[in-house]
Amino acid sequence: MPNPSRLRAAALTATAVLLSSVLAGCGDGGKDDDEDLTAQKLSWEDCPAPSAAEGGGAAPSPLPNGGEWQCATMKAPLDWGDPKGDTIDLALIRAKASGDESKRIGSLIFNFGGPGGSGVTTLPAFGQDYAALRTRYDLVSFDPRGVGRSAPVECESDQQLDAYFQQDATPDDSAERTKLLDNTRRFNAACEKNSQRILPHVRTTDAARDLDLMREVLGDDKLYYFGISYGTELGGVYAHLFPKHVGRAVFDAVVDPTQNPEQGSLGQAKGFQLALDNFAEDCTSKEELCPVGDSPQDVKDRIAQLLKDLDRKPIQGIFPRQLTQTAATNGIAQALYSKEFWQYLTEGLQEAYDGDGRILMSLSDSMNGRNDNGEYSNIAAANVSINCADDKPRYSADYVERKLPEFRAASPLFGDFLAWGMVSCTDWAVPGAADHPDVSAPGSAPILVVGNTGDPATPYEGARRMVEALGKGVGVELTYKGQGHGSYDSKNKCVQGAVNGYLLNGKVPAAGTVCT
């Protein structure tokens, strides 16, 4: 089943949307041998309400300082190996630049991560955070292929997903292990049955080629790009394929491009454990009493006991579902994506200790893309599909069991959860492309790489490795000593000043700059 290591930045997006409101949206094309896709003209119109695959909700509201959100579709080849063959429609959204047209630089394209997150719904949800960048750029995002309105991958029904996400994702015996593997095979078979046309074509290299087509269609000579979490991997792959097309680019919450899936999952076990340690320390260091423990260790011991109790006997969640050990672990991980959500974790734990699992289940639902109406976005389906198409390794259950001690040492709370997540691609229909992405980009313009020392989902060490992998003279590292997944959205003035200075004025900060 999906887990924190695989969902990356999409989880943060989903929680923010859950705690405020879901916004915005924008098909599948045929074949036209005579069509030059680089010459296509986009028809920008008012955005409709998001589709079910995008998460549902209302159409995006106008920007606070004026300006409307507009949506369009762009045709791209289904198979980039046959660029004159069948096409698919990719959903785009934009807010036009608010400043003087003579000072407009171009379109700044965002990818918020996942993989599997809908940029068409996420950009409006966070649009005001990028108001400074909008003074010189059209803000643009999109649903990558396989996501939302862009030829979405479809797997199981909403009812089937409810059962799938209630399963025990950390089996304790052979019967539980067999059930987990059977459920994973069933989910993967449903993806193949319902989406076999698109599954071979959702690799990150495909999305990177879509980005370059988007750049041309939007009228830019260079790609101006802001990638967050998995969006940094997509940006790195783009820079490798098209180094001479890179304009000003920022990578925030950086995926380590040197790691295979196992190494990434183990690193994130350490990352989420660090975030939990920081949460426990923060709660118990305040003047007022911490309601979920008397000391940092007590906080973690009580959480561990709660999960152990839920493994034996779930409690009431959001009726009619119960809060299981898996859902609670998922919800705790979700809250660790941002320090702003720690208050919800405290409240959720308090209520769970009293037998009420609704808050933790709401957090888990947001991780899984489930709305209040019981409908799921396709984030889980797209996430698995893109990861399994990208990642070559396939891990057996026996292999995972041999690795459990190492994962438990990295995180007593999240180790099993993240280790068993490695079986999600074992029976996947499409072979994976590589052990890890190639992001070497000699000849590229500078790319600002921002790492957060307290990031649970993309641990800080990944930023340095991305800089090294991009190559000499390309990656420029900036460190933020903070908490949560990502740095720019922390609203730290130092981070935002450096990012804005580069994107707006071309001023590259000194390598090794540290923001606190």
Judged on CB neighbours under 10 Å (0-12, 13-18, 19+), 315 is buried
Mean pLDDT of 184-211: 98
Q: Over the chain, what is the mean pLDDT?
A: 93
Determine the distance from the C-alpha atom of residue 110 to the mean position of all C-alpha atoms in its chain, rounded to a whole number: 12
Structure tokens at 187: 């989910």
Mean pLDDT of 439-450: 98
Catalytic annotation, pick one of 229, 338, 424, 487: 229
How far, in Å, CA of 403 to CA of 64, rounded?
51
Q: Would the pLDDT of 211 be above 70? A: yes
At residue 219, the pLDDT reads 98
At residue 166, the pLDDT reads 92
**Per-residue pLDDT tens digits for 78-105:** 999 999 999 999 999 999 999 899 999 9
Mean pLDDT of 431-442: 97
Mean pLDDT of 175-183: 97
At residue 115, the pLDDT reads 97
Structure tokens at 241: 């394929």
Residue 326, CA atoms < 13 Å, CB-side half-sphere: 23
**Per-residue pLDDT tens digits for 36-70:** 999 999 999 999 999 999 999 999 998 887 789 99
Of the candidates 59, 78, 81, the residue with the CA atom closest to the CA atom of residue 68: 59
Q: Would the pLDDT of 122 be above 80? A: yes
Mean pLDDT of 210-230: 98
Catalytic annotation, pick one of 455, 487, 489, 490: 455
Q: Are 333 and 272 in contact (CB under 8 A)?
A: yes
How much of the chain is in helix, strand and coil states, percent to nearest 5?
45, 15, 40
CB neighbour list of residue 492: distance below 8 Å, 6 or more residues apart = 480, 482, 515
Q: Are 138 and 108 in contact (CB under 8 A)?
A: yes
At residue 25, the pLDDT reads 30
Q: Would the pLDDT of 14 be above 90? A: no
Mean pLDDT of 73-79: 98
Does the active-site annotation cover 354?
no
Opening angle at CA 496, ends 340 and 136, nearest 5: 125
**167 to 82, 178, 200, 238, 394: CA distances (angstroms):** 41, 12, 28, 37, 22
How far, in Å, CA of 103 to CA of 107, rounded?
12
Does the active-site annotation cover 485?
yes
Q: Tell me the three-class secondary structure of 469-499, residue by residue.
A: HHCCCCEEEEEEEEECCCCHHHCCHHHHHHH
Catalytic annotation, pick one of 195, 485, 489, 490: 485
At residue 66, the pLDDT reads 76
Q: Would the pLDDT of 12 be above 60? A: no
Judged on CB neighbours under 10 Å (0-12, 13-18, 19+), 372 is exposed
Mean pLDDT of 325-342: 97
pLDDT bracket for residue 30 (50, 70, 90) = low
Q: Would the pLDDT of 33 be above 70? A: no
